[in-house]
Amino acid sequence: MTYQIQTYNKIADAGLKLLDEQYEINAGNDPDAILLRSHKLHGQPIPETVQAIARAGAGTNNIPIDQCSEQGVVVFNTPGANANAVKELVISCLIASSRNLFRAVQWTHSLKGETEISEKVEANKKAFIGHEVAGKKLGVIGLGNIGSVVANDALALDMEVMAYDPFVSVDVAWTISRSVKRVHQLEELLSQCDFITIHVPLSPKTTGIIDEKAFKAMKKGIHFINFARGELVDHGALKTALQDGTVGKYITDFPSDDIFGMDNVVATPHLGASTTESEENCAIMAARQLKNYLETGNIKNA
Ligand code: MLT
């Protein structure tokens, strides 16, 4: 028996290698399964032959879940496979933003071609004086595979860590350090933390959860990190909060035209999971899920 797999993005070789001679990749118009990363499937028909879709990544907001349910298509994602990559970027941005590293690096490069560079450096470095994160409070919204490792690792930086998540899975709950203070009201976290990082999936319920009311509850000058999804934040309210200084810095992986050019915005081009290791982990997990399902009918989203 052979299976046809349709891919829409470059999938790491380590994953494709799992799909041995039984599998034909992009070989015809009647795929048994789809394997993708960021390609948006909304608005295009899913062929009747498709039994499963695997996303080599965490979020499934590029897949029309309702349409899949109606057609009986099983949807997989790769929980945890990119958690380390995202965590490392979040922790590095936490420190980099606190030390004004992004602006400082930009300024240093602007000295190209100038004279008396060391004098200019000494005269201007006060503009970039930063803060240490040790002793500060980090709020983690969402304690899934990514939020939980961010929370645990922030403790090693001597931060106080507070977390909010009404739906922690039993498996993840066991991994969270007891030093992470769990709160039952989001407002409690918003009003007390110096830094906040959000790690919840995008869904109709979470779209815009960081809204005007949430910004109003925050401490003035907070650094807000969003490596989850841009749409979790209401951008009208964000812009006001950036302008009036409620948000001292917004560090996001989801660039958006309305906040480009603002001094207190740092935007990266959706790099959270972009490491060789994470791409391999996700591709391997996704390919294994499809293989398992097509060959045995087992649904194992891990
Ligand atoms: C994810 O959902 O896994 C990350 O945002 C990375 C990605 O979308 O490629």
Distance 259 CA to ligand 1 centre (A): 22
Architecture, CATH, for domain 83-267? 3-Layer(aba) Sandwich (3.40)
Domain 3-81+276-296, second-level architecture: 3-Layer(aba) Sandwich (3.40)
| Nearest ligand 1 atom, CA 59 | 2
Helices marked H in the chain — which ranges?
Answer: 13-16, 65-71, 83-98, 101-109, 117-124, 145-155, 170-173, 186-192, 212-217, 235-243, 276-296
Ligand 1 neighbours by CB, cut-off 6 Å: 37-38, 57-59, 82, 272-273
Residue 58 alpha carbon to ligand 1 centre in Å: 6
Please report the pLDDT score of residue 176 as a whole number: 97
Q: pTM of the entire structure? A: 0.95
Task: Tell me which residue has its CA closest to atom 7 in ligand 1.
Answer: 57
Q: Which atom of ligand 1 is nearest to the CA of 78?
A: 3
Complete edge-to-edge strand list for the sheet that includes strand 52-55? 23-25, 3-7, 33-36, 52-55, 74-76
Q: Where are the domains of the chain?
A: 3-81+276-296, 83-267
Both structure tokens of 7: 């891919």
Query: Which atom in ligand 1 lies closest to the alpha carbon of residue 82?
Result: 3
Residue 38 CA, ligand 1 centroid: distance in Å: 7
The pick from 76, 78, 270, 274 for probing ligand 1's pocket by mutation, whose C-beta has the most ligand atoms within 8 angstroms, reads 270
Tokens for 281? 């982990």
How far from 22 is each of 8, 13, 138, CA to CA, in Å? 20, 16, 49
Residue from 10, 38, 200 to probe ligand 1 pocket by mutation (most atoms less than 8 Å from CB): 38
Per-residue pLDDT of the chain (302 residues; tens, 9 = 90+): 899 999 999 999 999 999 999 999 999 899 999 999 999 999 999 999 999 999 999 999 999 999 999 999 999 999 999 999 999 999 999 999 999 999 999 999 999 999 999 999 999 999 999 999 999 999 999 999 999 999 999 999 999 999 999 999 998 999 999 999 999 999 999 999 999 999 999 999 999 999 999 999 999 999 999 999 999 999 999 999 999 999 999 999 999 999 999 999 999 999 999 999 999 999 999 999 999 999 999 999 99
How far apart CA 50 and CA 56 sit, in angstroms, is: 17
- d(CA 200, ligand 1 centre) in Å: 12
Of 164, 170, 171, the residue nearest 143 (C-alpha): 164
Same-fold call for 3-81+276-296 versus 83-267: yes
